[in-house]
Amino acid sequence: QLLLVESGGGLVQPGGSLRLSCEASGFAGDNFAIGWFRQAPGKEREGVACISGSGLSPNYGDSVKGRFTISTDNANDMVHLQMNSLEPEDTAIYYCAAGLQSPPCNLLGSHYDYWGRGTQVTVSS
């Protein structure tokens, strides 16, 4: 069964950290890419980070490079997004997505066919 379920969102102060998790059942292996996207009110969806289903070749959006890290836990069908040095501009709903892609993955939302329901991240003092 193909299933994507996000968790770990919440409220954090600027400069703080959060770790998002995505249960990505059925998407292991290099045939799939798993990505994190976000959408803030009034803004277009933005690609944040992606990685192959086997944990290879991570790719990051320019706005999060050096602050966010994507990783896989293949034993548990999980994909994590560690977010450090959070800024108010990171406030958005974060979505986990999966698509048929060979490494390296890309951050084009149209290349992802499966989406979770999202988790809210709010960065505010």
8 A C-beta contact, residue 22 and residue 3: no
User: Are 97 and 81 within 8 A, CB to CB?
Assistant: no
pLDDT given at position 48: 98
Query: How far is the first Cα of the chain from the last one, in angstroms, to the nearest whole number?
Result: 40
User: Could you say which residues of the chain have pLDDT below 70?
Assistant: none
Q: Are 83 and 19 in contact (CB under 8 A)?
A: yes
pLDDT at 30: 80
Identity of the amino acid at 89: E
Supply 79's token pair. 């994909």
Closest CA to 24 of 63, 55, 48: 55
Q: How far apart are CA 40 and CA 77, in angstroms?
A: 27
Q: What is the mean pLDDT of the chain?
A: 95
pLDDT of residue 75: 87
